[in-house]
C-alpha cells in the first residue's frame, strides 16, 4: 500500500525553537548546555502496530506520546491526547534502528589506500555529511562509526550533527583505528620509500597501544576500535590471523576502561576473537570464524556479537560497481561460508547478536539489507529487530536513551508500511523517521535546518 501518513493539525511544532529540544541531563562531558526548559507541546504518533524493541508481542492500535524530544508514554492509543497527532494509519512503528558498524565518512566506490594518496580530509567530511543524512533517512537514528580513512573526521561529523548543523544519526565515533604495523589498519601498503601523511594509528607493543588509545580518547573518541586480526578490505596480515598479542589487547581494554570507554574489536579469525574476549572487549565485530569455545567465552564475558553478513555478499557480487580491488575479493572468497557458520553458531548459543553492517563498503542507506540475510539464516524477524534496537543500544552503553520505545527515552522512531515480522524487507523501505521528536521523513515535511537534538 501507499502510506499517506496523515499529520494533523499542523506541523508548527516542528518549527519550535530549539531551546525546547536542548536536553535534560548532560549526556557527557562535551555537552554543557543548560537543562532544557519544560517543553510546551505534546505529539501523539498513532499506528496500527507497534514493536517496542524489547521482544514482546506488538501492540495493536498503538500510540507514542511525545513531549519535546522524549517519549512520555507508549501503549494503546485509546485515551491518549496531545496537541498534535501524527496518524500513520496501517503502518508499523518501531524504535529508530541502530547500526553498530558504519563508516559514514567513506565515499562508496573508493578505496582507502587510494584515498590516502589522492584525497583530503575535506572530501571525507563532505561525504560524511551526505552519508549521515542518507543513513538517518533510511531509518537509522543511531550509529557507531568504526573509523574514517582520515583520522578524526568522524569526530568532526559527530560534532556537526550534535550541534544540529546537519541532519544525521546520533553517533559514537572511533576517531582512528588502532592497528599493528602490517596489520589491517596499516594503510601504508606501499614501497617503504613512499610515505603518505601520517595516520598515527599504528601501535606495536603494550606501551605504544596504551599511547594510541590515550591519543584517540584525548581527541574525542567515544570508544576504541582495535584491529585484533587482519581484514578483508586491506592488505597485510590475513583476516584469519591474530595481529595483536593478548597483552596488547588487554592494555587497550584496561586503558579505555580508565576513561570509562569500551573497546570494539575487529576480529575475523577464531584466535583473535578469543584473545579479544579474554581481554574484555565489548563487541566482536565481524566475528567471521567464531568457534564453539569463542561462543562460550563471549557469553561468559558478557560481550556482544556484531557480525556483518550483507557486506560479504556485496563484496562478492557487486565488487565491480563498488570498485573493490581483486585482492580483497579474493580474501572474501576465502572466507565464504565461514560467516554464515559463525552466525548459526551464535544463534545456537543464544548469544546477544547486535546489528552491524560495514556500510561504506556498500552504499550508505542500504544498511537494512542485513536483516534479510540474518532471517534467511534462521534468526526470527523479532530477534533481528531486537539486535538493531535493544541489544545494539545495550552494546553501546546507551540503553538508557535509545533502542526501545519506552517512557524517558529519546523520541527516535520509524515506521514502515507493512508488518516486518511477516516480511523483514519492509525495514528496507522506511517511510517515516523521527529523531528526538523531530520528523525527518514522512509526508513532505522535513526538519528545519539547524534543528538541534543532543545525543
Applying CB under 5 A, the residues found at the interface with Zn ion are 146, 358
d(CA 81, CA 46): 11
List of E strands, 299-363: 304-306
CB-wise, 217 or 227, nearer to Zn ion? 227
Residue 141's closest CA among 209, 201, 106, 95? 95
Angle between helix 246-258 and helix 206-218 axes, rounded to 10 deg:
30
Of 239 and 381, nearer to Zn ion (C-beta) is 239
Minimum distance from residue 185 beta carbon to Zn ion (Å): 10
Q: How far is the CB of 103 from Zn ion (least distance, A)?
A: 6
Query: Shortest gap between Cβ of 227 and Zn ion (angstroms)?
Result: 10
Euclidean distance between CA atoms 106 and 51, whole angstroms: 32
Residue 105 or 338: the one with the smaller Cβ distance to Zn ion is 105
Do residues 216 and 174 lie in contact, with contact meaning Cβ atoms separated by under 8 Å? yes
Kindly give, in sequence order, each residue whose CB lies less than 8 Å from that of residue 91, ignoring residues fewer than 6 positions away. 3, 5, 47, 48, 49, 415, 416, 417, 431, 432
Q: Which three cell numbers stand for residue 29?
A: 562531558
Nearer to Zn ion, 144 or 452 (CB): 144
Residue whose beta carbon is closest to Zn ion: 358
Least CB distance to Zn ion at residue 312 (A): 12
- Between 185 and 403, name the residue whose CB sits nearer to Zn ion: 185
Instruction: CB nearer to Zn ion: give 154 or 412.
Output: 154
- In the three-class reduction of DSSP (H, G, I as helix; E, B as strand; rest coil), residue 256 is classed as helix
CB 26 → Zn ion: shortest distance, Å? 30
Q: Minimum CB separation from Zn ion for residue 250, in Å?
A: 23
Q: C-alpha cell of 440? A: 525527518
C-alpha cell at 42: 505534546
Nearer Cβ to Zn ion, position 42 or 308?
A: 308
Count the Cβ atoms, other than its own, within 10 Å of residue 260. Answer: 10
CB of 308 to Zn ion, least distance (A): 7
Amino acid at each position: 500500500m501507499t502510506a499517506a501518513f496523515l499529520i494533523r493539525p499542523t506541523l508548527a511544532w516542528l518549527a519550535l525553537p530549539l531551546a525546547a529540544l536542548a536536553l535534560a541531563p548532560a549526556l557527557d562531558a562535551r555537552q554543557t548546555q543548560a537543562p532544557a526548559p519544560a517543553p510546551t507541546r505534546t505529539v501523539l504518533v498513532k499506528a496500527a502496530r507497534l514493536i517496542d524493541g524489547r521482544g514482546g508481542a506488538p501492540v495493536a492500535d498503538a500510540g507514542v506520546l511525545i513531549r519535546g524530544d522524549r517519549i512520555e508514554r507508549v501503549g494503546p492509543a485509546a485515551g491518549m491526547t496531545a496537541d498534535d497527532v501524527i496518524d500513520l494509519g496501517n503502518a508499523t512503528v518501531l524504535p529508530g534502528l541502530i547500526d553498530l558498524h558504519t563508516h559514514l565518512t567513506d565515499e562508496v566506490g573508493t578505496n582507502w589506500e587510494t584515498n590516502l594518496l589522492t584525497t583530503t580530509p575535506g572530501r571525507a567530511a563532505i561525504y560524511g555529511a551526505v552519508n549521515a543524512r542518507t543513513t538517518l533517512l533510511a531509518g537509522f537514528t543511531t550509529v557507531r562509526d568504526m573509523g574514517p580513512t582520515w583520522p578524526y573526521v568522524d569526530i568532526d561529523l559527530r560534532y556537526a550533527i550534535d550541534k544540529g548543523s546537519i541532519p544525521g544519526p546520533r553517533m559514537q565515533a572511533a576517531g582512528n583505528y588502532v592497528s599493528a604495523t602490517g596489520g589491517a589498519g596499516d594503510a601504508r601498503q606501499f614501497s617503504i620509500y613512499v610515505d603518505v601523511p601520517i595516520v598515527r594509528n599504528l601501535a606495536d607493543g603494550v606501551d605504544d597501544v596504551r599511547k594510541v588509545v590515550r591519543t584517540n580518547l584525548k581527541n574525542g573518541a567515544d570508544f576504541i576500535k582495535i584491529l585484533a586480526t587482519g581484514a578483508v578490505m586491506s592488505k597485510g596480515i590475513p583476516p584469519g590471523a591474530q595481529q595483536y598479542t593478548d597483552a596488547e589487547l588487554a592494555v587497550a581494554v584496561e586503558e579505555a576502561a580508565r576513561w570509562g570507554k569500551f573497546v570494539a574489536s575487529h576480529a575475523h579469525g577464531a584466535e583473535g576473537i578469543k584473545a579479544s574476549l579474554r581481554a574484555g572487549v565489548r563487541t566482536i565485530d565481524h566475528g567471521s570464524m567464531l568457534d564453539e569455545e569463542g561462543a562460550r567465552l563471549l557469553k561468559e564475558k558478557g560481550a556482544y556479537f556484531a557480525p556483518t553478513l550483507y557486506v560479504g555478499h556485496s563484496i562478492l557480487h557487486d565488487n565491480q560497481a563498488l570498485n573493490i580491488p581483486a585482492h580483497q575479493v579474493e580474501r572474501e572468497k576465502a572466507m565464504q561460508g565461514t560467516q554464515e557458520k559463525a552466525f548459526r553458531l551464535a544463534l545456537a548459543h543464544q548469544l546477544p547478536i547486535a546489528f552491524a553492517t560495514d556500510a561504506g563498503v556498500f552504499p550508505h542507506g542500504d544498511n537494512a539489507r542485513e536483516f534479510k540475510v540474518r532471517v534467511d539464516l534462521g534468526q526470527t524477524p523479532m530477534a533481528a529487530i531486537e539486535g538493531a534496537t535493544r541489544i545494539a543500544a545495550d552494546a553501546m552503553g546507551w540503553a538508557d536513551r535509545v533502542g526501545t520505545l519506552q517512557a524517558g527515552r529519546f523520541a527516535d522512531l520509524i515506521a514502515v508500511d507493512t508488518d516486518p515480522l511477516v516480511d523483514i524487507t519492509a525495514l528496507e523501505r522506511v517511510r517515516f523517521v523521527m529523531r528526538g521528536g523531530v520528523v525527518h521523513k514522512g509526508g513532505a515535511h522535513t526538519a528545519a535546518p539547524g534543528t538541534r537534538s543532543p545525543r
